[in-house]
Structure 1
Amino acid sequence: MIQGYTKIRWQVTISILFSWLCHSVSAQIHYSIAEEMRKDSVIGNIADDLGLDIKQLSSSKLRIVSRASEKYLYANVDNGNLYIKDRIDREALCGAEASCHLTFDAVVENPFNIFKIKIEIQDINDNSPRFFHEMFSIEIIEAALPGTRLALQSAEDPDIGLNSIQSYKLSDNQYFILSERVRLDGSKFPELVLERSLDREKENVHILTLTAMDAGNPVRSGTALISVIVIDANDNFPIFGNEIYKVSIQEDIPINTTIVTVNATDKDEGINAQITYSFSKTSDNIHHTGMFIVNPITGDIKTNGNLDFEVTRNYELSVQAKDGIFVSHCKVLIEDLDINDNVPEIVINLLLSPIPEDSKPGTMIALIEVHDLDSGDNGEVDCEIIEIVPFDLKLSSDNYYKLALSMSLDREKQAYYNITIVATDHGSPPLSNRRTIELEVADVNDNPPMFIKSEYIAYIPENNLPGASIYSIRATDPDLGDNAKIIYTISTKDTEKLSTSSYFSINIETGVLYAQRSFDYEQDKGFQIQVNAKDHGSPSLESNVTLIIHIVDQNDNIPKILYPSAENGGSDGYEMVPLMSEPRSLVTKVVAVDADSGHNSWLSYHFIHVSEPSYFIIGEHTGEIRTSRTFQEKDTLKHKVVVMVKDNGDHSLSSTVTLNLFVANNIQQAVPKLNNHIENEDLQSNLHLYLVTAVVLISLLFIVTVMIGIISKCKGSKHLSTTFGAVGTNIYPQVDSRMLSMYSDGSLPFPYSYNVCVALDSAENDFSYIKKQQNVHVDNLIDADDSGLGDENLKEALPATEQ
C-alpha cells in the first residue's frame, strides 16, 4: 500500500510539472490525485503554480468558484495550498467512466482574473468484486453432454482498469470447469462448462463456489455459492438474436412507449421452448430498471418514467430469457438524447452595491455566472442587458461575465439602476431567463450649495423692531446626508462701517436673516451683504451670493423751515410789500426741507390764517408768496399770514411759520409800522384785562341807568330827553379811523367815543350803538385782520342804530 501511494505521489508530481508547463501557455493547472485521500490533505500550492505572491493572497481574495468542486476542495489564502475538504469517491463521482475529473475556477479579484484548474481523480482498489446474489441456483439436464455451457451471474466491481474484475475461479469439483467469455464491448462473463456427464440418480445437486478477483494491489475478491440442480429433459438454451441491443431516444419520450424488443429462440419444443423475459437484477441495473419495464411474453421494453438527460445520459439493461430451465442473457444499451428543456441559470457571484458615483469607467460591478444544464447548442448561452444603462456586460471566461461601468455616474440624476440581464441559449426553440440586479449609486460631495439667484434684493422699512426677521435666503444642495446639510454665514466688504454682526445675524441652519438694531434711513440707505452657504461634506463645498438690502424710508421727519428762520425764539418774520406792487408780484418765499425721501419729502405750502379778502397767494409747490391784486390807499397796511408746510407722506407731517407783511413804499414808512406792531403785540397781551374792565364799566352804567329810570318815573317823563342827551355827549375828540387801524392789534383802541343807549324795554338789547356824525366811517372801526370784536352781532347792530 505504501509502495502504491508513493507511485501515486510520483504521478501527482509529474502531473503538476506538466500542468505548470501548460499554465504558462493556457492559464490552466492540472493536478492528479488518488481517490479516498484523507481530509485536509494537500493537493498542491495554487499560488506557486499560478505565479501569485503569497503575501498578497488575502488582499487578492483568492477563492474557488464551482458548482461541485466546492464540496470536495478548498483553498487556504494564507499559504496558497489546495486541500481536500471531504472524501472523494471516484466511483460515486464518475461511475464507470474511464477518466474522472474535478474542474473548478480559481477567482482572483485584485486584480481580477480567473484560472481553470482541473484535477484528475485516480482510481485505487477500494472496492471488492461483488455478486448481486451471494447464493443462486442453476439447473442442468442430466442429458447434457460434456462441453455444455451454463451462463453464470457476473460479479461487479465499480473500480476500473486493473482494479476491476480480471478473472473468475471455481472451486474444485468432478463435473464442472470454469470458462470465461468476452462480449463485444470487452466485458467478461463466466460460464460453467460440463466436463463429465451427469447422473441425476447419483447426485442431483452440486454446490460450487465461484470467486471473482481483480488485479489490484492488494488483490480483492468476492464469492458466490452456486447450487447446480440436475433435471431431466430440456437440453436447449434460449438464444438471443443479438448479444447487445442499442437504441437512442429523446429525453421527452412519453411514458409507456416501446423503445426496443428483445427476442430469443429455443430449439426445444413444447413447454421447454416457452421463453420468459425479465431483467437481471444487478447492482448496476437497480436504478435503471425502474425507468423501464419488459413484457415477459413479447420482450417489448417500454419506458416507465420520465427520462432526464441531465440526470442520466445512458442506461444499460441486462435482459434474461428463460425457457423454464435454461437462461440466456443480453444487454440493452439505451442512449438518452438531450432536448432544450432547461432554461439558463444566472448566478450573481459578486456584486458591489452601492457604487460611488465618482467611480471611473471600467470599474467592475458584478461577476455573473451563466449555466445551462443542457448540452451542445442547447447549453450554449449568450447574455445581454436589455436596458440602456451606463454598464457593459463582457464575457470573461467560459460561462463568466463581467458587469463593468461604461461611463460616469451622477447620483443626482439617477440614484438607482435596475439592470436586467437576459440569458438565451442556442436551442431550437431557444429558452431564456432573466435576472434583475438592483444597483444603488452612493453619494459623494460633488455639488456645492446653489442659490436660485445670483443676487438678492431686500427692502426693509426703517424704524423696524430689533430682533425681527427681515429676510429668508436659502440654498439647495442635491447631495445626500451630511453632503447636503448647509451652514449659512454672512459677511460684508464695507470695513468703514460697523461689523455686520452689529447690524444683522443669520440662522445658520434656516438662512433666516434678523435685524440686530432699528435702522434709520437718514443714516443708512442700504447694505451689501455676502451670504455664504457651506455644506458638511468632506471636503466641504461652498458658494456665495450677494444680498443687497435697501432701507425703505418712512415719514418720520417733519418739514424744517429754513426761511424765514425760526432761530429768533419763535417770533414772526417781517416782510415789506411795496404799495405800488403789481398783481402776482413776488413778495417772499418760504423755504423748507424734509429729511425724508420720495413722496415723504414732497412739500406743499398752504395759508392757514389769512385776512379776508386775501391780498396774497402762495405757490403750493414753490412756497412763493405773491400779491393777488393792486393795493389802494384805503386797504389795510399790515397783514399777518400763517404758512403751513406739509409733506406728502402717509399720515403727513407739517410745520407752520407766521409772516407779517407791511405794505409801504419805502423803509422809512415800514419802520414806524414795525414799531407800532411791536407795541400792539404788548397791547394784545392786555386784551383780556381790557375786556374785563369794559364789562365792569358797562355793568355799572347799566345799574346807574336803572336807577335813573326809576327816578325818572317818579319825576315824570318830561325830563327824559335831556337826561339821555347828557349821556350821549362825546367824551373824546374825533380821530381819523385810518389812524386807528394802524394801531390796531385786534382789540378796541383808545381814544374812541361810543354813544350808548340803555334799552327801556326788557325785550330789546341792553346796549345799542347810536349813529355818530356822518363824516365818521364806522366800517373802519374794526381791523379786517383782527377778530374778537368784529362778530356778526356787532355788524347787525350798527345798521339798526342808523334807522
Structure 2
Amino acid sequence: MKNSNRERSIPRLIAWQVFISLLFSLQQISGQLQYSISEETKKGSVVGNVAKDLGVNVKDLQLRKMQIVSQTKKQYFAVNLENGDLIISERIDRETLCGVKQICFINIEAVIENPLNFYTITIEIQDVNDNAPMFSKKHFDIGISESSVPGVHFPLGNAQDPDIGTNSIQSYTLPENEYFRLGEITTKDGIKYPEIILQKSLDREKQSFYEFILTAYDGGKPPKTGTAIIKITVQDVNDNFPAFAQDTYHIRLPENAPIGFLVIQLNATDKDDGVNGLVSYSFSHITETALELFTIDLLNGDIKIIGNLDYETTETYEITVEAKDGGGQVTHCKLSIQIIDVNDNSPEIRVTSLLASLLEDSPPGSVIAILNVRDLDSGINGDVACQISDTFEFQLIPSSSSYYKLVTAVSMDRERKSLYNVTIHCMDKGSPPLSTNKTIQLIISDVNDNAPIFEKTNYIVYIIENNHPGTSTHSVHASDLDSDENGKVTYSILNNNIEDLPVSSYISINSMTGVLYAQRSFDYEQLREFQFQVMAKDSGSPPLSSNVTVRICIIDKNDNAPKILYPSPDTEGSALFEFIPHSAEKGYLVTKVIAVDADSGHNAWLSYHLLQVPDPSLVIIGQQSGEIRIGRDLSDLEALRQKIIILVKDNGVPSLSSTVSMNLVVAENFQQVVPEIKIQPNNSESSSKMSFYLVVALVLISFFFIVTVVITIILKCKQSNTPTSFGAYNRNVYPQFTLGCPSEISDTSLPFPFSYDVCVTMDSKQNEIAYLKPVQNVPTENLIDTEDPAVNDSSSNKLKSTNIAQV
C-alpha cells in the first residue's frame, strides 16, 4: 500500500515542480517570487532556493544579513544562509491559516541589507486530505409519526470536513432497508445535507424503533469517512415541522461586541398544538472555537456572545441551528456570522537593524536603524504612518510599505549633545486612531574636534619680590570639550628669551596641572614684569592646541632703606653747619632734607622726623616735605649752637629708616659763625684749608644770593599769572601715579625714579618750588652722581644758598 501511494505521488511531485518552474518564470517577470507547497509538509523541507531565484550570491547572504519577515504571528519559514534554501520551520495547517477559503496564500518578505532590498515571496498552501468527515453529533434521534406517508423527508445533520475541493465531503450512504432510503439536499452555498426519505408507511405497533449507521465520504485518495448513528423513534401523529423564516441568516458583528450582546433571536414556528408545537433550539453543528464564543437559549432561540471576538483570529463563523418541536420533528438553519474589523490593534514597531553609536563627524544621511512597522488590523485600520517626535536631527524615510530608515539629518556634535533618545511615533488611520511609540537610544562617539580653551584670554600674575625659588605662583587651566584622550590636556611654555635668557630660567610649569613655579628669586628693582606664552595641547590624533599669554608682574617689597641725598651722611665726620640769623622769624626755612627710596608705592613714601634736638621749641620739621623751619622768634642777643639728628623713614611694613645729623648755628652775621666753626676739634691741615674755602664760599654765595633774589622777583612779576609745569609742590600731598602693571593692590603711589629739581634758599619767606619729571628705565644706582664735588664737599654744601641736585 505504501509503495502504491509513493508511485501515485511521483506524478504529483513532477507536476508541482513544473508548476513551481512556471511560478519562478512569472516572478522573474513580476519581480516577486511564488512557491507552492502542500500543507503538513514536515519541518526542514526545502521550498525553493531563494538566493538562486533572486540572483543573490550565496556567499553574500550572511554578510548582507538576509532574513525572512512574516506577516503572520508564527514564522513558518526560514532561510538557510549557507546555501540560500527557503525551508519550513513550523507545521503548516491550511485549515488553521485560511479556514474555508478556497485559495490559501502566505506572504513573506526577504530583507537584504547593504544595499537594502526587499522581496515579496508568496507561498500557496495546497490542501491535502488530512481531515476526515465528522458529524456534529454521534447520535441523531429522529421521531417519525406513524401517520407519515411514504416520500416524507427527514433532514439530518450534515458532516463537516475542513478540507476543500474534492477533499471535502462528497457523498453519504445509509444501509439498505425497506422503510428508509437516503437523500441529499444541496443549498445555494453548495452544502449537502443528508436526509432520510420514508419509503414505506410505518406501523408503530409492529416496530417502534430503528437504528442505522450514516456514513459520510470525502473525495480524497484514499477517501476518508465519518459516521453517526441514526436512531428513529416512531411517534404518534405530529405532522408539522418547525419552520425558520429563512434557510440561512447572514449576520455582521463588530469584533468589539461586548459579552452578552444579542446576536440574533431565532424563531421557528410549528403549526402543531400542545407538546408537538413546542420548539426547542440547539446548535446542530458548531466548531469548538465558536462554541466558546456563542451560546443559544434552549427555549427562545436567543444567540448571545459569551467570549471575546477577534477579527485577526477568525473572520467568519458557520453555525447550524436545530429547531425541534415536542413531537421530535426538527429543522435546521444556517448562521453565517461575519466579524467586522475594528481598530483594536496598535501598530507594532520592530527594529531589524540598529547602530548603537555614531561618530560625531559622520555625514548627514547616515543610517541609524531599519524599522519594520505592521498593524494586524485590516483596511484603513491597518494603514500606518510614522514620524519622529520633537527632534530635527533625524529623519524617518520610508523604504517600502512597511519599512523605514532612521537617518541623521544634520551633522552631530557630541559636545552639544552626546546621547539621543529618538522616539518613533506610529499611528494608524482607524477611528479612533491607535498609536505606538518606540524609543531608540543613540550614543554619539567623540572625535578630536575641539582645541583646549583657557579660562581667560590672558593671565596677569603678581609675585612679591624676594620670593623663594620653586614656589608655585599661579595656575592656568584650559578645558577641552572632547572626552577621554581627546580631552586630556597638557601644558608647556613656548620657548622665548627674556633679556637674552630663556624663559625657563625664570618660570616653569607642571605639564599636567598647569601650575606655574618661579625658578628664581625676583628683584623688583631689576625686573618689574615679563610675559610669555603657555600652550595647552590635547592628546587626540592629531592633537589640537591653543596658546595664552601670561604676564608676570613683580610686586615691590620694602627691602630698601631711604637714601639721604642732602645733607650727605658722608660728611658726618666733619662739621656741617646751617646758619640762622638773629633776624629769623618763626617759620623761617633753615634747610631741607632730601631723600629717595629705591622702592615704589607706599614703600617709597617718606616721612621726616626730628630724632634728637636739644631745644624742641627752636626748630620744627615738615613730615612730608623735610623742611626744617624756625619754631619760634629769636631774640637779638640770642646766640646758640645745636646739633640735631633727623630720621627719614619710609611707609613700608616693616618700616626702614636712615638718619643724618647737622649743626645749627644762631648768630648775628657770618663772622660770628667762623669762630663757631673754628672751635670744632679739628687740628689737621685740611681743617685750616676748609676754613679758608668756607670764607670764600660765603662771599660767593652771598653775591649769588642777591643776584638770584633780584632775578626771581623780576620773573615772578612777569609770570605771576603763568602756572608752572605741574604746579607748586604741595608739601602736604603725595604725588599720585599708577604702576606699570595693573595691580590688584594698586595704591596709585609714586613710582621711581623721578627727577627732582630742588631750589633751596636761605630766605625764609621764599617758597620751595619742585617739578616732577618722570624718567623711564633709569636704574636707581644712577640717580646720584657720587663724583659731584658739590655733594662731596660738605663745607660747600653747608654754606651754599642755592643748590641743585638731580634725584
Check whether TM > 0.5. Answer: yes
Distance across 2 between alignment mates of 1:468 and 1:172: 125
Q: CA deviation at 1:641?
A: 8.2
Q: CA deviation at 1:184?
A: 0.6
- The residue identity in structure 2 corresponding to 1:130 is M
Matched, 1:43 2:47: yes
Distance across 2 between alignment mates of 1:468 and 1:102: 84
Give the equivalent residue in structure 2 for 1:213.
Answer: 217
2:18 to 10, 30, 33: 10
Distance across 1 between alignment mates of 2:296 and 2:53: 54
Is the 1:572–1:657 contact (alpha carbons within 8 Å) kept by the matching residues of 2? no
Distance across 2 between alignment mates of 1:577 and 1:73: 126
Give the equivalent residue in structure 2 for 1:390.
Answer: 393
Give the equivalent residue in structure 1 for 2:785.
Answer: none
Give the equivalent residue in structure 2 for 1:291.
Answer: 293
- The residue identity in structure 2 corresponding to 1:531 is V
Give the equivalent residue in structure 1 for 2:537.
Answer: 534
Distance across 2 between alignment mates of 1:53 and 1:565: 109
Q: Deviations over 1:616-649 (max 9, x none)?
A: 9999999999999xxxxx9999998877665554
Distance across 1 between alignment mates of 2:371 and 2:396: 9
Helix, strand or coil at the partner of 2:29: helix
Q: CA deviation at 1:399?
A: 3.7
Helix, strand or coil at the partner of 1:103: strand
Q: Deviations over 1:592-639 (max 9, x none)?
A: 7755445545677888779989999999999999999xxxxx999999
Distance across 2 between alignment mates of 1:615 and 1:292: 136
Pairing of 1:93-108 with structure 2 (within 5 A): 93-108=97-112
Is the 1:593–1:601 contact (alpha carbons within 8 Å) kept by the matching residues of 2? yes
Matched, 1:467 2:470: yes
- The residue identity in structure 2 corresponding to 1:8 is W
Helix, strand or coil at the partner of 2:135: coil
Distance across 1 between alignment mates of 2:298 and 2:624: 136
Matched, 1:21 2:25: no
Q: Deviations over 1:28-60 (max 9, x none)?
A: 433322222222222233334444443333333
Distance across 1 between alignment mates of 2:503 and 2:118: 65
- The residue identity in structure 2 corresponding to 1:278 is S
2:492 to 489, 494, 505: 489
Q: CA deviation at 1:549?
A: 0.8
Distance across 1 between alignment mates of 2:106 and 2:605: 103
Is the 1:558–1:654 contact (alpha carbons within 8 Å) kept by the matching residues of 2? yes
1:454 to 437, 453, 457: 457
- The residue identity in structure 1 corresponding to 2:64 is S
Q: Deviations over 1:458-481 (max 9, x none)?
A: 110011133332112222233344
Give the equivalent residue in structure 1 for 2:416.
Answer: 413
Aligned residues: 673
| TM-score, reference length from structure 1 | 0.70
Matched, 1:157 2:161: yes
Across the aligned residues of Structure 1 and Structure 2, the Cα RMSD in angstroms comes to: 4.8
Pairing of 1:709-788 with structure 2 (within 5 A): none
Is the 2:450–2:480 contact (alpha carbons within 8 Å) kept by the matching residues of 1? yes
Distance across 1 between alignment mates of 2:107 and 2:679: 135
Is the 1:157–1:164 contact (alpha carbons within 8 Å) kept by the matching residues of 2? yes
Give the equivalent residue in structure 2 for 1:361.
Answer: 364
Based on CA coordinates, which of the two structures has the bigger radius of gyration? 1
Distance across 2 between alignment mates of 1:51 and 1:590: 112
Q: Which range moves more in the overlay, 321-330 or 170-179?
A: 170-179
Q: CA deviation at 1:154?
A: 2.1
C-alpha change, 1:495 and 1:22, in structure 2 (3 Å) is farther
Q: CA deviation at 1:431?
A: 2.8
C-alpha change, 1:608 and 1:306, in structure 2 (3 Å) is closer
Give the equivalent residue in structure 2 for 1:313.
Answer: 315
Is the 2:578–2:663 contact (alpha carbons within 8 Å) kept by the matching residues of 1? no
Give the equivalent residue in structure 2 for 1:798.
Answer: none
Q: Which range moves more in the overlay, 523-532 or 302-311?
A: 302-311
- The residue identity in structure 1 corresponding to 2:399 is S
Distance across 2 between alignment mates of 1:497 and 1:174: 140
Helix, strand or coil at the partner of 2:410: coil
Matched, 1:426 2:434: no
Q: CA deviation at 1:101?
A: 2.4
Distance across 2 between alignment mates of 1:257 and 1:97: 28
Is the 2:397–2:406 contact (alpha carbons within 8 Å) kept by the matching residues of 1? yes
| TM-score, reference length from structure 2 | 0.70
Is the 2:140–2:156 contact (alpha carbons within 8 Å) kept by the matching residues of 1? no
Matched, 1:279 2:283: yes
Give the equivalent residue in structure 1 for 2:384.
Answer: 381
1:679 to 659, 680, 683: 683
Q: Which range moves more in the overlay, 510-519 or 556-565?
A: 556-565
Distance across 1 between alignment mates of 2:650 and 2:172: 137
C-alpha change, 1:617 and 1:352, in structure 2 (3 Å) is same
Give the equivalent residue in structure 2 for 1:512.
Answer: 515
**5+ residue gaps in structure 1?**
629-633, 684-803
Is the 1:255–1:305 contact (alpha carbons within 8 Å) kept by the matching residues of 2? yes
Matched, 1:169 2:170: no
- The residue identity in structure 2 corresponding to 1:319 is V
Helix, strand or coil at the partner of 1:287: helix
Distance across 2 between alignment mates of 1:290 and 1:69: 22
Q: Deviations over 1:512-557 (max 9, x none)?
A: 3232432223443333232222334454433221111112222223
**5+ residue gaps in structure 2?**
1-8, 632-636, 688-807
Give the equivalent residue in structure 1 for 2:726.
Answer: none
Pairing of 1:458-607 with structure 2 (within 5 A): 458-494=461-497, 498-559=501-562, 572=573, 595-598=598-601, 600=603
Give the equivalent residue in structure 1 for 2:120.
Answer: 116
C-alpha change, 1:288 and 1:508, in structure 2 (3 Å) is same
Give the equivalent residue in structure 2 for 1:765.
Answer: none
Give the equivalent residue in structure 1 for 2:250.
Answer: 246
- The residue identity in structure 2 corresponding to 1:384 is Q
Q: CA deviation at 1:285?
A: 3.1
Is the 2:345–2:434 contact (alpha carbons within 8 Å) kept by the matching residues of 1? no
Q: CA deviation at 1:316?
A: 1.6
Give the equivalent residue in structure 2 for 1:65.
Answer: 69
Helix, strand or coil at the partner of 1:554: coil
Helix, strand or coil at the partner of 1:320: strand
Helix, strand or coil at the partner of 2:159: coil
Helix, strand or coil at the partner of 1:57: helix
Distance across 2 between alignment mates of 1:405 and 1:389: 9
C-alpha change, 1:530 and 1:138, in structure 2 (3 Å) is same
Is the 2:418–2:443 contact (alpha carbons within 8 Å) kept by the matching residues of 1? yes
Aligned identity (percent) is 48
Is the 1:175–1:197 contact (alpha carbons within 8 Å) kept by the matching residues of 2? yes
Is the 1:572–1:659 contact (alpha carbons within 8 Å) kept by the matching residues of 2? no
Is the 1:575–1:588 contact (alpha carbons within 8 Å) kept by the matching residues of 2? no
Distance across 1 between alignment mates of 2:593 and 2:275: 158
Helix, strand or coil at the partner of 2:399: strand
Helix, strand or coil at the partner of 2:161: coil
Helix, strand or coil at the partner of 1:54: coil
Q: CA deviation at 1:97?
A: 1.7
Matched, 1:80 2:84: yes
Distance across 1 between alignment mates of 2:141 and 2:619: 161
Helix, strand or coil at the partner of 1:453: coil
Q: Deviations over 1:223-263 (max 9, x none)?
A: 34444455554455444432212122334445545443444
Q: Which range moves more in the overlay, 180-189 or 481-490?
A: 481-490
Is the 2:23–2:33 contact (alpha carbons within 8 Å) kept by the matching residues of 1? no
C-alpha change, 1:46 and 1:503, in structure 2 (3 Å) is farther
- The residue identity in structure 2 corresponding to 1:15 is L
Q: CA deviation at 1:115?
A: 3.5
Q: Deviations over 1:340-388 (max 9, x none)?
A: 4444455555554454443432233344444444433333333334424
Distance across 1 between alignment mates of 2:84 and 2:419: 39
Helix, strand or coil at the partner of 1:248: strand
Distance across 2 between alignment mates of 1:578 and 1:258: 141
Distance across 2 between alignment mates of 1:639 and 1:678: 18
Distance across 2 between alignment mates of 1:238 and 1:611: 157
